[in-house]
Structures are given as structure tokens and as C-alpha cells.
Structure 1
Amino acid sequence: MADENKDRDERPRPKFGELAPEGWVWHPPKDADRLDTAHPKPDARPVTHGAPARSPEQELLAQSAGEHPVPSWNQPVTILLLIAGILGMFLSIGTIAAAPASMQQLYASNGLGTYVPASSVSLIMLVGEIAMVGIWVFSALVSIVRLTRHKLAFFIPIVGGVLAFIALFVCLTAIIASDPTLLAFYGKLSN
């Protein structure tokens, strides 16, 4: 009985068409590990989506330099923040472009007559619009460079958004401050 079990072949039985002619030997292709994606090599690193994987040498250098691995959420969050930033940029440019019309509404609601923009208003608007585009482009470039170097980048669009908000506030304040009639009117109200 023990001899019967010893002679029994434990391998699966071949299916139709799987038997090769006598003497034929199969040699795996040179790129067998590329073709066999179902069974990765034991030493293969897991594939992560996002930034390209670093070689083991690069990982060791990064760890020895005190660099921490970048979380997987860094890239999608950074991209979403950049998309939100470009929408904010267009809204800010629209707000700056609408400043003279808003000033006219302030004049009309307070009975001050017709708003005539100072000569510096068009320059302030142009500088503000260029600043909005420049801040977003700079934020996008720095974020992309940091993403390609496998570094945290999500905070760059946040800092860019804060700087853009400050630039928008300064621009609108400068437009309001350029109008002596409105300043005198609100100065009388505060006294």
C-alpha cells in the first residue's frame, strides 16, 4: 500500500493540448518576469500608484538622509488643491476686474454721484491680475517639482492660496484707497 502512494504522481493531470512531443524542452522567454504579472518574484517590490517607485539604492540613501516616505495621499491631494487654486485664481481675477463696477455701486448707494477711477486703478488691477496668475503658476511648478522628487507637496498650493488671498486684499484696498471721495465719505461717518 505504501508503494502505491509512492508511485502516485501528485502533479495535476494535463488538459487537452498540453502534452508536448517527446524530447521537447520548454525554455522561458528572457522577459518572463515581465509577462508573468500574476506571480511576482519574491524580492519584487509592491507597485504603488502615484509617483514612480525608487530603486532600493535610492530608498536606502533617502532613509540614511533622514527622509521619510511620502504618504500615498500626497499626490492626489496636491492635484486637487491645484485645481481648486486655478478656480480661485479665475475668481480673484474676476473680482479685481469688477472692482470699478463695485465702486460705482458704492457711489450710487451712498448718493455720491458717478465714480471716476483714478489713473492708478488700471495699473493696480493689472498688477493684481498678474500677481494672481504668477502665484498660481509658481505654486504649480514648485508642487510638480516636489512631486517628481517624491517629497511632500500638498502644502505648496495652500501657501499659494493664502498668498493669493493677501494679494487680492491688498489690491482691493489699494483701489479703494485711491478714491478720495469715498475715503472722505466714510471718514465723515466714523466721526
Structure 2
Amino acid sequence: MADDRPTPRYGELAPEGWVWSPPADPHATETADTAPDGADADEVVSPAPYRVLDASISVFLLVTAVMTSSSSVPSLFDLRSTLDMFYADRGLGEYGGGSAVDIAGAIAAIAQLVLLATTIWLTVRLIGQRRRSWPVPLLMGALALIVTFGCVALALVADPGLLSSLSST
């Protein structure tokens, strides 16, 4: 039963007897069992079930990521003193890598913060959409770990004294 009357344009008065009704809600909560008469079961859209376990794991991983970053980012910004303590404990002398340690530490810290913000944003968005979200913090954590280890390794390799002491022993 289609309404063949013309719809009014913006600024026009509606024809006599014309009634506006809102469009069908694509997020209706009806299921196939309660489909209105004449409607196909395929046309009815229902929301995805809420994933409690998935959301719980995601929140746990996000809290772990925030706690880890809150302790590692300050030490990455001050990587020179961390490496000085490492060298003193091992009896390797003084760090001789120049400014490479400051640059590598800053890059690692900023990368961790950017990855953490991206992870929180994506995970919350996926939880809100009721989609699987736990792989996001897990994979982003692995990526942050790789970037951090790579930057610290570059800072260590920049010191020629460490390489010579390792090759002599």
C-alpha cells in the first residue's frame, strides 16, 4: 500500500491529508520471530549480542597497557641515566653514544604514547559497536614492545665502547 501523493518540498505547504512518518529505524530490536506482517525475516535488523568476556579482556589489557606505559615512558624520556646505571652495574665504563640515546628514548616514549592513545580509541570504539576488540590492545602492545626494544637497541649500538667490550669478552 504505497502512498502516491507527492511529498512537499522544503518551504512548501503539505497537501491536504498528507502525514509525515519517520523512516524505519535500521537498529530496531525486533527479531525474525516478531517481524511485522508482510515483512521478510531477512529485512529485520537486530543488534549484535553484547560480548561481556571480550569487553572484560579488552579492559584488562587496556589497564595493563596504561600501567606499563605510565612506568616506562618517564624512564624512556630519561634513557641516558638508565643506560648510565646499566653501564655502572656491569662495569662497562661510561656511555659513549652521544645524543643518540636522547633521540632514541624520545622516539620510543612518543611512539608508546601515540600507540596507547590509538589503542584506547580503537578498543572503546569496537566495544561500543559490540565487535571483537581484545586483539587490538594485544597487537598494539606487541607493536609498542617492538618499537621500544628497537629504539633501545639502536641507542646501545650507537656506543662503540659497548660493542668493543662485548667482542673482547
Q: 1:61 to 1:83 in 2, by over 3 A?
A: same
What is residue 116 of structure 2 aligned with on the other side?
136
Q: 1:79 to 1:109 in 2, by over 3 A?
A: closer
Instruction: Give the aligned residue type for 1:132.
Output: Q
Give the conservation status (yes or no) of the 8 Å contact 1:85–1:136.
yes
> How far off is 1:118 after superposition?
1.2
- 1:1-12 matched pairs, under 5 angstroms: none
Establish whether residue 163 from structure 1 lines up as the match of residue 143 from structure 2: yes
- 1:37-52 matched pairs, under 5 angstroms: none
Deviation digits for residues 149-180 of structure 1 (CA, Å, limit 9, x no counterpart): 11011121111111111111111101101111
Establish whether residue 118 from structure 1 lines up as the match of residue 98 from structure 2: yes
Q: Percent identity at matched positions?
A: 20
Establish whether residue 55 from structure 1 lines up as the match of residue 55 from structure 2: no
What is residue 168 of structure 2 aligned with on the other side?
188
Give the conservation status (yes or no) of the 8 Å contact 2:78–2:102.
no
User: How far apart in 2 are the matches of 1:62 and 1:177?
Assistant: 56
Given the two structures, how large is their TM-score scaled by the length of structure 1? 0.59
What is residue 65 of structure 2 aligned with on the other side?
85
Give the conservation status (yes or no) of the 8 Å contact 2:80–2:102.
no
What is residue 80 of structure 2 aligned with on the other side?
100
Alignment RMSD, CA only?
2.6
Given the two structures, how large is their TM-score scaled by the length of structure 2? 0.66
Structure 1: runs of 5+ lacking an equivalent: 1-53
Residue in structure 2 matching 1:151, options 131, 136, 140: 131
Structure 2: runs of 5+ lacking an equivalent: 1-26, 33-43
